[in-house]
């Protein structure tokens, strides 16, 4: 990890900024990491075995470590087993946004037999993304649930529909003072995506105050705040209340969509990146332009992209450099070795681009001395695995 380390969020045991990518050793050195997620000043990862580690700022208990102290190195979260087959509405903790000095409400999971269940059609969340004041979750059936602020239509349904869902499920929700919660605080189904009609969501993304989703690996939908054209719909407006289709990608297979504070990245199955939204700091990767982009534009000069990520004002791409065939010495099986490299662009504040300085970068630029390998046998068996580094603010 690299960039700002003022609260130990880099996991290197110090509060020092890092100019270049540096491997986290200590607790994670011999573990197989499945996924990493970055908050503003804290970090969480999960291993292939299902163990969760967290580190960084912890003033509101966001690390789940039964303490409010800052933790400078990865530490395993200890928790008890939950009943299988149940999805619980998590408890609420109040958190204070230090930048805007504004109270917000966030969910955190606790294990309590008294928590009330909600009858979701499917029972397992497979992905959760977080915005400034809202969260979006994807179930294993391809449904989307949203909770938190609906100021800019983040729920994808009207306030009347939110209230109707709340009343319908009120028998599952324990009484909580209205001063603590509103109806928007509980997960609501984005009914636009009806899995009974095979409208199955395969991937979700969350901007500061907007959402995106890919339906059936083909169609991209966006809703929420759109003041900078970040939804890619070809127009600017305060917000869009209902999921709306992006016409740019008709006929294309879509691999991934990611959102920053007010810009978005789109990755096609062929390995090309498109971008839209705010042009500031060069985060679109389109050069030194001076206008927001309300329709997704192709980023030229970068291909064979495997994965993308967005911070608030910077972007990243993992690019396949080459494939080498050979023999694995241990088992004499043929294998294919993929070499991956990282490109970053956008705001260079606190050296978060990994180029050794704090300069803004207006086009994708490769991080030196930073590459990854992914190997598999010719039969498809994975020999080793890696994940892209996820981005904080």
pLDDT digit of tens for each residue in the chain (393 aa)? Answer: 877 788 888 888 898 887 777 888 778 888 888 877 776 677 888 788 877 788 888 776 667 777 778 889 988 877 544 443 333 333 323 232 333 333 433 334 444 433 334 444 455 778 888 788 787 888 889 999 888 788 999 999 887 888 887 777 665 555 544 444 556 667 788 999 998 899 999 999 999 999 999 999 999 999 999 999 999 999 999 999 999 999 999 999 999 999 999 999 999 999 999 999 999 999 999 999 999 999 999 999 999 999 999 999 999 999 998 665 544 444 445 555 678 899 999 999 888 898 889 999 999 999 987 776 665 544 333 333 333 444 555
Q: DSSP string of 326-355?
A: EE-TTT--EEEEEEEEEEEEE--GGGTTSS
- Match 């958190």 to its residue by tokens: 95
Whole-prediction pTM = 0.73
What is the predicted pLDDT for the residue at 86?
35
> What is the maximum span of the chain, computed from C-alpha positions, in angstroms?
66
What is the predicted pLDDT for the residue at 61?
65
What is the predicted pLDDT for the residue at 173?
53
What is the predicted pLDDT for the residue at 318?
94
What is the predicted pLDDT for the residue at 182?
59
Residues 95, 127 contacting (CB under 8 angstroms)? no
d(CA 270, CA 296): 16
Closest CA to 235 of 244, 66, 139: 244
**Structure-block tokens of residue 64:** 């789940």
**Structure-block tokens of residue 216:** 């059936």
Give, in order, the Cα–Cα distances in Å from 66 to each of 54, 59, 75, 83, 365.
Answer: 12, 11, 12, 22, 41
Is the Cα torsion angle 140, 129, 73, 58 positive or negative in sign?
Answer: negative
All structural domains of the chain with their residue ranges? 1-79, 83-269, 301-393
**Structure-block tokens of residue 48:** 């292939």
Q: Which residues contact 97 (CB under 8 A, 6 or more apart)?
A: 103, 104
d(CA 267, CA 265): 7
Closest CA to 266 of 311, 296, 229: 296
CATH architecture of 83-269: 7 Propeller (2.130)
Burial class (CB in 10 A: 0-12, 13-18, 19+), 326: exposed
Element (H, E) at 73: strand 71-76
Closest CA to 240 of 229, 251, 249: 229
Element (H, E) at 374: strand 361-377
- Match 């294998």 to its residue by tokens: 335
What is the predicted pLDDT for the residue at 330?
46
What is the predicted pLDDT for the residue at 108?
41
Give, in order, the Cα–Cα distances in Å from 82 to each of 2, 78, 110, 112, 141.
Answer: 35, 13, 10, 9, 21
What is the predicted pLDDT for the residue at 240?
97
| Local structure of 249: helix, strand or coil | helix
- Match 């003033």 to its residue by tokens: 59
**Structure-block tokens of residue 350:** 């606190």
Q: Partners of 326 in the beta sheet? A: 335
């Amino acid at each position: 990890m690299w960039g700002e380390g003022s609260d130990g969020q880099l996991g290197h045991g110090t509060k020092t900024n890092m100019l270049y990518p540096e491997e986290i050793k200590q607790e994670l050195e011999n573990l197989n990491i499945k996924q990493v997620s970055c908050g503003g000043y804290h970090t969480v990862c999960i291993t292939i075995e299902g163990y969760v580690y967290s580190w960084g700022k912890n003033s509101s208990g966001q690390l789940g470590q039964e303490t409010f102290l800052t933790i400078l190195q990865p530490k395993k979260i200890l928790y008890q087993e939950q009943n299988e087959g149940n999805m619980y509405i998590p408890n609420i903790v109040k958190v204070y946004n230090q930048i805007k000095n504004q109270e917000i409400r966030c969910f955190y999971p606790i294990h309590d037999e008294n928590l009330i269940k909600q009858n979701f059609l499917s029972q397992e969340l497979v992905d959760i993304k977080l915005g400034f004041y809202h969260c979006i979750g994807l179930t294993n059936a391809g449904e989307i649930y949203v909770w938190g602020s609906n100021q800019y239509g983040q729920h994808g349904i009207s306030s009347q529909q939110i209230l109707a869902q709340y009343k319908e499920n009120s028998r599952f929700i324990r009484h909580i003072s209205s001063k603590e919660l509103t109806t928007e605080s509980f997960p609501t189904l984005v009914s636009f995506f009806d899995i009974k009609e095979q409208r199955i969501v395969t991937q979700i993304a969350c901007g500061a105050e907007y959402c995106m989703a890919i339906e059936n690996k083909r169609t991209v939908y966006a809703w929420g705040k759109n003041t900078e054209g970040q939804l890619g719909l070809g127009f600017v407006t305060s917000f869009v209340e209902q999921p709306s289709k992006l016409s740019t990608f008709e006929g294309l297979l879509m691999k991934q969509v990611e959102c920053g504070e007010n810009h978005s990245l789109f990755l096609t199955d062929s390995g090309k990146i498109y971008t839209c939204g705010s042009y500031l700091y060069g985060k679109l990767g389109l050069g030194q332009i001076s206008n927001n982009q309300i329709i997704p534009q192709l980023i030229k000069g970068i291909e064979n992209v495997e994965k993308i990520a967005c911070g608030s004002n910077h972007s990243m791409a993992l690019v396949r450099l080459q494939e080498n065939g050979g023999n694995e010495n241990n088992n004499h099986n043929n294998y294919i070795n993929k070499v991956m490299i990282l490109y970053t662009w956008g705001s260079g504040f606190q050296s978060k681009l990994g180029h050794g300085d704090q300069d803004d970068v207006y086009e994708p630029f490769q991080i030196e001395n930073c590459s990854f390998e992914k190997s598999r046998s010719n039969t498809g068996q994975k020999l080793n695995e890696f994940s892209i580094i996820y981005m904080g603010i």
